[in-house]
Structures are given as structure tokens and as C-alpha cells.
Amino acid sequence: MLCYPSNQGPASWTIEAIGRVNLMSEQYWLIHPNGGRQQINPDQFDLTHLAEQAKQFGGRLEFASIGDGFRSEPRPIPTAGRGFEPPVSALGPLFKSRLALIHACEVDFQVDVNTRPTHRVLGGYYKSRRLIRIYSHDRAEGRRPLEELFDTFLHEVAHHLEYTEPDSFLAEECERVPGRMHSRLFWRILGDLKSRWFDHIRRP
């Protein structure tokens, strides 16, 4: 199950950028889930678009001003406003088609996108029914952004894969421990899925 706040493990990983603008005292950071760092030349990217890609991955793009021994606090690069979003009924097929681009599941599952507004609970996985449920609406803010819902989907898919094909992620069996919601194997699967998706959307 996924709910706020999420303050540990890969769910709290951020995407930041690294780089320096020519003749400007600004730096950018892009940190991948596996800890790798990549230098970004702002002259070669549309930073707003890159920030949107980072947001899709569950992180953010940031920059800081540096000069004369002074360094400002990192500040987020603004993203564009919310554009077209498909109807709720299309989200399940859309998310499964995205998943197929980065991983072929050995065991199929069902997706239920529930419009009942929630406060903290974002989704859940029901092992016996092989069902992923996603809550599309926030009680206070209305419909949740598309990429936030997809991030929840990947979270619940990681639960499904931990139970149904741990061997695909170098494990002999499910490592779920009673009383603990997320195992090390779960975080490894989720980090791998997010890394694959980020690599896919950055591909020319």
C-alpha cells in the first residue's frame, strides 16, 4: 500500500541536476535512483521540459546560484501547468501499456482506478486477487496528477512482482516480512522499474 508521507527508501529518492550555465553562477543536479550523477548542460536542454520529465519520475530538477563564496538554497525549476489528462477509465490500460515498454510481467494482474477521494492512501495491492487499486482523487485537491498516479501504479506493481516473480530481480523468493510493509527486495524492484521508465522517456 502507498500513502503519504513517504520518507524512506527509494520512494523518497529525488531527481536533481548537475551542470553549470556558461557565464552564469548557477548549477544543476540530476541524481539517478542508483546514485549516479550526470552533468547537465542547460544550453542543450529545455529545462522546463526536463523538469517535467523529472517530475514524471517522481523527483525534481533544481538549481542553485553560486558566486563569491555564496551559495543559495536549491530552488525547484518550475514545470508547465497540467495539460490534457485522459479520462479515469483510460488510466488502467494506459499504465499497463507503459509498463509493457519496460517490463513483461510473467503473471497478469487487474487494475482498478477508484474515484473515491482519499486523504493519505494512494493505492493498494491485493495479492489473492492480483488486483492493483489506485485512488485517483485527493479529498482536498481533487484529481491527482497523471504522473503521480503512474508513480503509485509502479509502486503497487513492485508489490505484485515481489510476490509473483522475485527471481526476475535476483531473489530466490518473496522477501516480505510480516509486520513490515516494504522489504529490501520491494525497494530494489521499484527502483529498477523507475530507472527503466526514466531511461525510456529520456530516449531520443
Long-range CB contacts for residues 82-87, cutoff 8 Å, separation at least 24 = 82/145, 82/146, 85/143, 85/145, 85/146, 86/146
Domain total for the chain?
2
Q: Please check whether residues 194 and 95 belong to one and the same domain.
A: yes
Residue 4 forms part of a structural domain: no
pLDDT at position 42: 67
pTM: 0.62
Residue 3 forms part of a structural domain: no
Over the stretch 138-157, which tens digit does the pLDDT of each residue have? 988 889 999 999 999 999 99
- Closest listed residue to residue 19, CA positions, set 81, 52, 63: 63
Task: Write down which residue in 54, 76, 98 finishes a domain.
Answer: 76
Q: Please check whether residues 122 and 195 belong to one and the same domain.
A: yes
- For residue 85, what pLDDT band results from cuts at 50, 70 and 90? confident
Residue 82 forms part of a structural domain: no
DSSP annotation of 22 reads T
Residue 33 has pLDDT above 60, yes or no: no
Q: Please check whether residues 15 and 116 belong to one and the same domain.
A: no
Residue 109 has pLDDT above 60, yes or no: yes
Beta bridge partners of 64: 27
Can you say how many angstroms the Cα of residue 54 is from the centroid of all Cα atoms in its chain? 9
Average pLDDT, the chain: 77
Q: Please check whether residues 59 and 104 belong to one and the same domain.
A: no
Q: Please check whether residues 173 and 120 belong to one and the same domain.
A: yes
Residue 124 forms part of a structural domain: yes
Residue 4 has pLDDT above 70, yes or no: no
Q: Please check whether residues 131 and 101 belong to one and the same domain.
A: yes
Return the HEC string of 91-150. HHHHHHHHHHCCCCCCCCCEEEEECCCECCEEEEEEHHHCEEEEECEECCCEECCHHHHH
Residue 129 forms part of a structural domain: yes
Q: What are phi and psi of 113, to 5 degrees?
A: -100, 110
Q: Please check whether residues 67 and 94 belong to one and the same domain.
A: no
Over the stretch 163-195, which tens digit does the pLDDT of each residue have? 999 999 988 888 887 777 889 999 999 999 999
Do residues 142 and 135 touch, judged by C-beta distance below 8 A? no
User: Residue for cell digits 510473467?
Assistant: 106
pLDDT, mean of residues 31-39: 55
Q: Where on the phi/psi map is residue 138: left (φ > 0), alpha (ψ -120 to 50), or beta?
A: beta
Q: DSSP 3-state assignment of 161?
A: helix
- For residue 16, what pLDDT band results from cuts at 50, 70 and 90? very low
- H or E element that contains 2: strand 2-3
Q: Please check whether residues 104 and 145 belong to one and the same domain.
A: yes
Residue 74 has pLDDT above 90, yes or no: no
Burial class (CB in 10 A: 0-12, 13-18, 19+), 171: middle
Q: Please check whether residues 190 and 94 belong to one and the same domain.
A: yes
In one letter, which amino acid is 178?
P
Residue 6 forms part of a structural domain: no
- Closest listed residue to residue 147, CA positions, set 196, 194, 204: 194
Task: Write down which residue in 76, 109, 128 finishes a domain.
Answer: 76
Residue 112 has pLDDT above 80, yes or no: yes
pLDDT at position 24: 41
Which domain, by its residues, includes 164? 88-202
DSSP annotation of 8 reads S
